[in-house]
Structure 1
Amino acid sequence: MAVYAIGDVQGCYGALQRLLKKVDFSPEKDVIWFAGDLVCRGNKSLETLRFIKRLGDSAVVVLGNHDISLIAAHYKVIRPHPTLENIMKADDRYELIDWLRQKPLLHVDEDLGYCMAHAGIYPHWNLNQAQKFAREVQVPLRGATAQRWLKEVYGDEPSQWSDGLQSYDRHRFILNAFTRMRGCNPNGSLSFSTAGTVKDHQAKGLYPWFNLPSRTLLPKKVVFGHWAALGFHNDSQVLGLDTGCVWGRKLTAVRLDSDIIKPIQVACK
């Protein structure tokens, strides 16, 4: 059995199939971790969603910001991205959305020594806190009041974490941290002012979340996506896998149950 992790697919179904063929993936014996953003911008989001759903237990999925946006569009909280219109018209739309909103924001594997969240783990949280907060917001997302909850949790504020945050403010920060975070101010507050490279963040006095000097070191290595401008990034603490497939670059996988972490890639149109 092999365990692979793949960066943001974003509806690039053809590239996904070529990458799975390249690693000789078998759903009968292997497992794929998807780092979120299964859909949006690519032209085959519906096919991608259906395929990953059919993988069953062979697919481990965490939600990304575009996945959340699809769920919100389903509930008419926001307008769907044009590339998602075929999902909105699909006969199995409700089944797909119900499947998607049951997916977690954070996955932890004790045996492999990895955890996975789409954007990463907020640098001032330890792993126990991150697991607790992820479960906290999964309850309303999966519940009967998901539409009302989604209407309240869109926005950039508060940008600073506090244990005293309550209600929608608390949930908004948690959701943003897991699905939208890239740069942090020196005090740990989130910044959404740029989606560029590390140098672009540094020019604005920001730190990548994983380089914040006051970051809490975690007992598990964090697999994440979301940051196409960062590209493939591997160090002792984090593993970034978004290599901009939807922007014409590459789709990347790594084998997690291997002593050597190296990117396995296919070019994307």
Structure 2
Amino acid sequence: MATFIAGDLQGCLKPLKCVLKQANFNDQHDRLWLVGDIVNRGPRSLKALRFVYERRDHVQVVLGNHDLHLLAVAHGVRKPSKGDTIDEILKAKDCDTLLGWLIQQPLMYTQSQVTMVHAGIAPNWSLEQAQGYANEVQAMLRSSKAPLFFESMYGNEPDYFDESQTGVIRLRSITNVFTRMRFCTASGRLDLTSKGPSPSASELPNPLTQTPEPVDAWFNHPHQIPENHRIVFGHWAALEGRCAAPHALALDTGCVWGGSLTLYELEQDRFFRCPCKNGKPLV
């Protein structure tokens, strides 16, 4: 049995099938991990979600920001955004089944020496803390209060997590780290406006002392991750899979934006890629 981890699908089902074929993936014996953003922006969001759901016994998913957005729209607390490709899911006869499964998925998954998240883990969080914070959001999503969370999920403020935060503000702060973070300071203050390979500001004030701190990619800061442990993440297409930090592996290579879809085989430490255009394979 082999474990394969795929970057952001975003409705690009044919590229996923392309890399799985390259890897000789056996969906009866092998495991497929997905770093989140199964849906949206790409051409086949409904088919991609169905494909994953049908193989759910052999698939491990973490939620991404686009997956949460789909759930918020489905709960009637948010209108679709321009460019969304989720309408076919919302109109599908099996919508309730698909989304009932999706909302049960975690924000963080750890197996042995590997942890999978969508965007990252704050540099000032230990793995144990991160799991505890993820559990808080997951408990809300799986409860009858999920609509309250979705109503308050959107927003860049506060742009840091603090242990004293409570309620939906706390859950929003946690969710922003797991599903939207790219750049931050060592103390965990987030730059949530920069999406490219460089931050818009070189410094941000420390949340407690207000003294300026350097802004960098979250994985470049001193971290609390145990030695020999690795964080696998997506979300950041502008990196094009480039991440020199030994404890982090970037898998979003921008398939939906004309890049490629990347599949990583964990045990053999090797990659498979399918170049794409408009969410479809070029090969």
Q: Which residue of 2 aligns with 1:163?
A: 163
- TM-score, normalised to structure 2's length? 0.89
The structure 2 residue matched to 1:251, chosen from 253, 261, 272, is: 261
Q: Which residue of 2 aligns with 1:232?
A: 241
The structure 2 residue matched to 1:241, chosen from 244, 251, 254, is: 251
Unaligned runs of at least 5 residues, structure 2: 204-214, 278-283
User: Partner letter of residue 238 of structure 2?
Assistant: A
- TM-score, normalised to structure 1's length? 0.93
3-state SS of 1:236 partner: coil
Shift of 1:202: 7.4
Q: Distance in 1 between matches of 2:126 and 2:68?
A: 24
Q: Which residue of 1 aligns with 2:78?
A: 78
User: Partner letter of residue 130 of structure 2?
Assistant: A
Count of aligned pairs? 262
Q: Which residue of 1 aligns with 2:17?
A: 17
Contact 1:188 1:212 in 2 (8 A): no
Once the two structures are superposed, what CA deviation does each residue of 1:193-217 show, in whole Å capped at 9, x if it has no partner?
21001xx22764420001124x323
Q: Which residue of 1 aligns with 2:209?
A: none
Contact 2:159 2:192 in 1 (8 A): no
Q: Which residue of 2 aligns with 1:99?
A: 101
* CA-atom RMSD in angstroms: 1.4
Q: Which residue of 1 aligns with 2:149?
A: 149
Unaligned runs of at least 5 residues, structure 1: none
Alignment of 1:141-220 (within 5 A): 141-197=141-197, 200-201=198-199, 204-205=202-203, 206-213=215-222, 215-219=223-227, 220=229
Shift of 1:257: 1.3
Contact 1:105 1:118 in 2 (8 A): yes
Shift of 1:186: 4.9
User: Partner letter of residue 241 of structure 1?
Assistant: L
Once the two structures are superposed, what CA deviation does each residue of 1:12-43 show, in whole Å capped at 9, x if it has no partner?
01111111111111111100110000000001
Once the two structures are superposed, what CA deviation does each residue of 1:134-188 show, in whole Å capped at 9, x if it has no partner?
1111011111121122102221111122211111111111011000000003542
Q: Distance in 2 between matches of 1:204 and 1:86?
A: 41
Q: Which residue of 2 aligns with 1:124?
A: 124
Structure 1 outlier segments of 4+, above 6 Å: none
Shift of 1:103: 0.2
Q: Distance in 2 between matches of 1:17 and 1:54?
A: 14
Q: Distance in 2 between matches of 1:183 and 1:127?
A: 19
Q: Distance in 2 between matches of 1:152 and 1:232?
A: 31
Q: Which residue of 2 aligns with 1:223?
A: 232
